[in-house]
Amino acid sequence: MEYLVEMKGITKRFPRVFANDRVDFNVRPGEIHALLGENGSGKSTLMSILAGLYRPDDGQIIYKGRPVSFRSPRDAIRAGIGMVHQHFKLVETFTVAENIILGDRNISFVLRPAAKERELTELSARFGLAINPGAYVWQLSVGERQRVEIVKMLYRGCQLLILDEPTAVLTPQESAELFANLRRMADDGRGVVMITHKLSEVMAVADRVTVLRGGRAVAAMTRGSFSERELATAMVGREVTQESRRQGSAEGRTVLEMRDVYALNDVGRWGLEGVSLAIRSGEILGVAGVAGNGQRELAEVITGLRPVQRGRIFLEGQDVTNLGPQALIDRGISHIPEDRLGTGLAPGMNAIDNILLKDYRKAKGRAGLIDYKAARSRTQKLVQAFDVRLAGLRAPVKLLSGGNLQKLLLARELSAEPRLIVAAYPARGLDIAAAEAVSRFLLQERRRGTAILLISEDLDEIFALSDRIIVLSGGRVMGEPLRTETATREQVGLLMMGAGGEAKAV
Ligand SMILES: Nc1ncnc2c1ncn2[C@@H]1O[C@H](COP(=O)(O)OP(=O)(O)O)[C@@H](O)[C@H]1O
Ligand SMILES: [Mg+2]
């Protein structure tokens, strides 16, 4: 039997979109087949058709040499095709054994639970899927729940196992373990389909790969004949440049390093508890997390607005711990604070004074007087470059809209040619155009080699701009920094909820 399953010309329309457009896809027994594509390319839909959840509008499925048409997932499972969805479907208040056997018409569990549990333990051990049949599902981590779902499919005799973005909820260690287990299932003669949008995973485990783009299968390749670059091109539909893939600048020198830093919050408790991190030149480090988990304290210790109680902060190798705000400004640290009017700008003062505010010493003429004319022309230039809409250079800045305030602040902070920018929620409250301008400025600074710490609650912003992502929760950095190219929102979300090493269930 060459193919375990063949899908031919599968088409599936949803009200506004062709989710699948004449897709051909097949799986051989004994292989791990990656189904690769960007979000919305039709991967889950295609596999949900195979697993009996959706019916195709057109096309044919040949399973073990015979045309099939599944009316429900139960139908598909009975035939030997099982899918583990992104959102698990276990019953929290049942045990692992009860969940696995649930829906199995066999009543022997009720009669002989111990024997059934033994059978499950043996089955899971065979494929390296450690589970505890007696545990309740609510007690399990996400990784454990996933193993239960997989064992459930194996228990029901599935020959073809489909996993929808299985690593999204796993730590890297759990992912490596999963891959090894999938290999055992394939070696056992089963077919394994792994849905993913991560090139690295295809490179790591796939024997073959089918690439979907915009609902169409645009490439099918066998291990040895594909490279990460070719896969990226097939997936995206054009040559992927370094810029748009935001390749990290791992070679850049370390600009900021924090070692085991402790700081108190405003009520005298630990706001930061042993934070260590490093940012390189030309790198944006995104700090994800819910505000109030040390974000403000982090920005303030780096910019000298809050004392460090323990630990050290280094700027380009020099110890700058507790140097104070002006000394840090002089050394090239810019701050885009969360309260733009409080810490950032002086509301009653005009634009020129606000631009001057930070570096009035530089603006002094030879006689020690402020060269107001020079300041005026510099402000004029910045206002133009940053497209700040204001009534006049001499009007108080409190009259500006949020977006214009933010741009004025950015103009001042960025025109200082900083080495490090600490940006807290830089796009918060801005309209789309202003938010885009802010992103553009930050990326421009990054290209110039500035190191940037980007604190944000907006995961879209974090993912769009950052090279690496850390999660701040309860004043600590959770887990290891994630590379944005391989990180998922789920991973970040789990860390935000305080999950350390093994990701805890949501
Ligand atoms: N139940 C549905 N109803 C309407 N549109 C859907 C439905 N499921 C998916 N789609 C649409 O079909 C397209 C493919 O979705 P999907 O198969 O989930 O992609 P992927 O799994 O590759 O991210 C998307 O445009 C998505 O919005
Ligand atoms: Mg999907």
Based on the fold, state whether residues 104 and 136 are members of the same structural domain.
yes
Based on the fold, state whether residues 209 and 317 are members of the same structural domain.
no
Last residue of a domain, one of 214, 240, 266: 240
Helices (H) and strands (E) in the chain, counts: 19, 20
Query: Is residue 381 one of the residues assigned to a domain?
Result: no
Q: What is the pLDDT of residues 438-458, one digit of tens each?
A: 888 888 889 889 999 999 988
Closest ligand 1 atom to residue 45 Cα is: 17
Q: What is the 3-state secondary structure (H, E, C) of 253-301?
A: CEEEEEEEEEEECCCCCEEEEEEEEEEECCCEEEEECCCCCCHHHHHHH
Greater pLDDT, 186 or 16: 186
Pocket of ligand 1 (CB under 6 A): 14-15, 17, 19, 37, 39-45
Closest ligand 1 atom to residue 12 Cα is: 12
DSSP code, position 398: G
pLDDT above 50 (res 49): yes
Based on the fold, state whether residues 206 and 132 are members of the same structural domain.
yes
Q: Which residues pair with 6 in a beta bridge?
A: 26, 62
Distance 328 CA to ligand 1 centre (A): 50
Query: Is residue 377 one of the residues assigned to a domain?
Result: no
Distance 215 CA to ligand 1 centre (A): 9
- Ligand that comes closest to the CA of residue 49: 1
Closest ligand 1 atom to residue 38 Cα is: 22
Based on the fold, state whether residues 428 and 305 are members of the same structural domain.
yes
Based on the fold, state whether residues 204 and 273 are members of the same structural domain.
no
Distance CA 477, CA 26 (A): 43
Identify the pLDDT of residue 503: 39
Closest ligand 1 atom to residue 46 Cα is: 17
DSSP code, position 350: B
Q: Which residues pair with 299 in a beta bridge?
A: none
Based on the fold, state whether residues 225 and 285 are members of the same structural domain.
no
Based on the fold, state whether residues 32 and 176 are members of the same structural domain.
yes
Distance CA 182, CA 184 (A): 5
CA angle 158, 162, 163 (to 5 degrees): 130
Query: Is residue 391 one of the residues assigned to a domain?
Result: no
Query: Is residue 501 one of the residues assigned to a domain?
Result: no
Which of 446, 460, 454, 465 has its CA nearest to residue 492? 460
- Give me the amino acid identity at 46: L
Terminal CA-to-CA distance of the chain, rounded, Å?
Answer: 42
Based on the fold, state whether residues 234 and 263 are members of the same structural domain.
no
- Give me the amino acid identity at 164: D
**Cβ of 390: how many Cβ atoms within 10 Å?**
20
DSSP code, position 157: T
Distance CA 505, CA 146 (A): 10
CATH of the domain at 430: 3.40.50.300
Of 14, 43, 85, best ligand 1 pocket probe by most atoms within 8 Å of the beta carbon: 14
Of 7, 17, 48, 211, best ligand 1 pocket probe by most atoms within 8 Å of the beta carbon: 17
Closest ligand 1 atom to residue 44 Cα is: 21
Query: Could you give the 3-state DSSP secondary structure of residue 465?
Result: helix
Closest ligand 1 atom to residue 20 Cα is: 14
Based on the fold, state whether residues 209 and 338 are members of the same structural domain.
no
Distance of CA 331 to the CA centre of its chain: 32
Q: Whose CA is nearest to atom 25 of ligand 1?
A: 40
Query: Is residue 13 one of the residues assigned to a domain?
Result: yes
Which of 484, 15, 70 has its CA nearest to residue 246? 484
Identify the pLDDT of residue 390: 82
| Torsion angle in degrees (nearest 10) through CA of 421, 425, 430, 435 | 50
Q: What is the pLDDT of residues 52-101, one digit of tens each?
A: 999 999 999 999 999 999 999 999 999 999 999 987 788 888 889 889 88
Query: Is residue 89 one of the residues assigned to a domain?
Result: yes
Q: What is the pLDDT of residues 132-189, one digit of tens each?
A: 998 998 888 888 899 999 999 999 999 999 999 998 777 767 888 999 999 999 999 9
Distance CA 310, CA 262 (A): 5
Based on the fold, state whether residues 150 and 43 are members of the same structural domain.
yes
pLDDT above 70 (res 431): no
Q: What is the 3-state secondary structure (H, E, C) of 201-270?
A: HHHHHCCEEEEEECCEEEEEEECCCCCHHHHHHHHHCCCCCHHHHCCCCCCCCEEEEEEEEEEECCCCCE
Distance 35 CA to ligand 1 centre (A): 15
Distance 196 CA to ligand 2 centre (A): 8
Last residue of a domain, one of 189, 209, 240: 240
Last residue of a domain, one of 240, 274, 289: 240
Identify the pLDDT of residue 373: 83
Based on the fold, state whether residues 87 and 140 are members of the same structural domain.
yes
Distance CA 250, CA 28 (A): 40
Query: Is residue 386 one of the residues assigned to a domain?
Result: no
Complete DSSP assignment for 89-105: ---TTSBHHHHHHTT--
- Cβ neighbors of 130 (< 8 A, separation 6 or more) are 124, 147
270-280/254-264 β-pairing: antiparallel
Q: Whose CA is nearest to atom 27 of ligand 1?
A: 40
Range of the domain at 290: 254-343+417-496
Angle between helices 113-126 and 142-155 (to 10 degrees): 100
Distance 181 CA to ligand 1 centre (A): 29
Distance CA 325, CA 384 (A): 28
- Ligand that comes closest to the CA of residue 15: 1
Which tokens go with 214? Answer: 């915009």
Q: What is the pLDDT of residues 257-298, one digit of tens each?
A: 999 999 999 989 999 999 999 999 999 999 998 888 999 999
Q: What is the pLDDT of residues 217-246, one digit of tens each?
A: 999 999 999 988 889 889 888 765 433 335
Query: Is residue 280 one of the residues assigned to a domain?
Result: yes
CB 488 within 8 A of CB 168: yes
B/e letters for 263-296, b = 16+ CB within 10 Å, e = fewer, are bebeeeebbbbebebbbbbbbbbbbbbeeebbbb
Distance CA 299, CA 291 (A): 12
Q: What is the pLDDT of residues 366-422, one digit of tens each?
A: 555 667 788 888 888 888 877 888 888 888 888 887 778 888 888 888 777 899 999
Based on the fold, state whether residues 56 and 141 are members of the same structural domain.
yes
Structural domain total, the chain:
2
